[in-house]
Amino acid sequence: MATINFPYLGQPIQPNHNFSNYIPLGGNRYSEYVNGENPYTITKSITHQSDEVARSRLVHVENAMKHAWNGYKTHAFGHDELLPQSKHYQNNWDGMGVTLIDSLDTLWMMDLKNEFWECRDWVKEHLSHDIDKFVSTFETTIRSLGGLLSAYDMSGDEIFLERADDLGSRLLKAFDSPSGIPYGQVNLKSGEASNLPWIGGEVAILAEFGSLQIEFRYLAQATGKTEYAEKAERVFELMKEIELSHGLYPVFVANTKERPFFATNIISFGSFADSIYEYMLKIWLQGGKVENMYREMWDRSVQGMHDHLLLKSTPSGLRYIAGLKPNTAQDKKENTLAYDRSMDHLACFMGGALALGAYTDPKGFDSFRAQRDLQTAKALAYTCYQMYARSKSGLSSDNIKFDRKHENDFRITSDRPYYILRPETVETLYILHHLTKDPIYREWGWEIFQSIECFCRTDAAYGSLADVNLPGDGPEDRMESFFLAETLKYFYLLFNPDNELDLLNKHVFNTEAHPIRTFPDLEKQQNDRRQCTNTQSNC
């Protein structure tokens, strides 16, 4: 039992604090957290002090959002992305105002209501999905459909639901494959759909077709059009029919025949796979924890991860989730697999997901399984924090390689040394703090935020880094919409002691950080709105 009080509380930050001279503090600190243990006592006094420090930091997170939004509004309003160095824009998502749609709920949550309603007017007057181009089924669902649904959920404004219904009806054509596993791209005007040509045109990507269900199920509940949910849920029914005994899913599925089948034996919790595991748990939470098939799939996958993929680095013993790939060694045995000892930054979502699963475990929070999963969640969070802390910028590369001969546990892979303002680690820090109240997650998050302010800020907004060990090169001319939709939102929630989101019962985030209500709470909200309408009261 921990008896030493938490020793790492930071100091309040002044409103005029200058981040430009920030020097990252380096890695290999806080090693007592490496195994996911809880080394310190968190008293009410410490929690109160942490909240006060967090409020002083929150001001700077809000300022960051205002800075990024003002740059977008000035130079790119209504376009897909702001170019933060050249102060121009690009329509790389087919001109559907992706940054605007992706930012709606962040604006609402930060009480930037004037900006929110200005965006609402743009949605009403200018947003059109009648586009004669192929778009990504996955990206358009999580960013645009998810953003519209969350804006509707928060504001109750019907224009968001109308536009979401229009977009959803167009995206639904992607599900019309022979197998029912949706195609990776769809023409929003003609309804023509196909798999992505760059992976051969015959297979679908696990993470993409497995991360549409929260959005389409909510759309079905809000509109009463059950087809949205039926087609999306059928995907998981099909995956359950072909799942492997260890509960882990290869990343490519052939979907052009009547029965789908796995088209590779590569297994990962990073790119191509990550969010299907996230959605197994979150669909169950969304439905009020009664649709047991999804929870059982999640529990089997987590068990498979622990049994087959969870490894420790040398020499520090960092926990990480490896992948499996075909064995290419000269002495390989036929059909054997080898570890892929790398980890994508994308896989850092898993710390938060495991914590959510532990706190809602049907076996009880005190069960061995829940406590194991929570400890793994904390250990992964520490590893992901080290991915940031051990670079010269204090920011994480997109991928690292664990090398048993490397004195620093891991190295940055040469083809992915960049930081593109990704949210997954901050997401995990927020969820773990929300559930455990351990201030360490705020301290780690604050280090990351300071590095972003120091090395990624431009005159107009924020940009990515080409190499996290060359921060002096300055930010690039690219700001993904998810920086406003996810990264800044999770920072806001991490440092806001007064946020009212209930992750265990009332709210669920899609994989683009768009929060929507669970079905029991949505039904209550809908009933309340009907009562207001019937009584013509100003509710």
Taking alpha carbons only, the member of 275, 338, 331 closest to residue 301 is 275
Q: Identify whether 361 is a catalytic site residue.
A: no
Q: Which of 115, 215, 340, 424 is catalytic?
A: 424
- Return left, alpha or beta for 463; rule: phi > 0 is left, psi -120 to 50 is alpha, else beta: beta
Q: Which of 274, 398, 476, 480 is catalytic?
A: 274
Q: Quick one: angle between helices 213-223 and 158-171, nearest 10?
A: 120
User: Using CA atoms, how far apart are residues 155 and 149, in angstroms rounded to an integer?
Assistant: 10
Does the annotation flag 140 for ligand binding?
no
Residue 320 structure tokens = 């990480």
Helix (H) and strand (E) counts in the chain: 18, 17
Q: Identify whether 512 is a catalytic site residue.
A: no
Cα 231 to Cα 205, 208, 209: the distances in Å are: 17, 15, 11
Q: Identify whether 143 is a catalytic site residue.
A: yes
Residues with Cβ within 8 Å of 198's Cβ and at least 6 positions away in sequence, in order, are none
Q: Which of 57, 143, 295, 442 is catalytic?
A: 143
User: Using CA atoms, how far apart are residues 512 and 409, in angstroms rounded to an integer?
Assistant: 30
Residue 11 structure tokens = 């100091």
Q: Identify whether 215 is a catalytic site residue.
A: no
DSSP 328-382: -STTPPTT-EEEE-EEEGGGGHHHHHHHHHHHT-TT-TTSHHHHHHHHHHHHHHH
Residues with Cβ within 8 Å of 530's Cβ and at least 6 positions away in sequence, in order, are none
* Inter-residue contact 160 to 123 (CB < 8 Å): yes
Hey, which residues are catalytic here?
A: 139, 143, 274, 424
Binding residues for Ca(2+): 511
Binding residues: 511
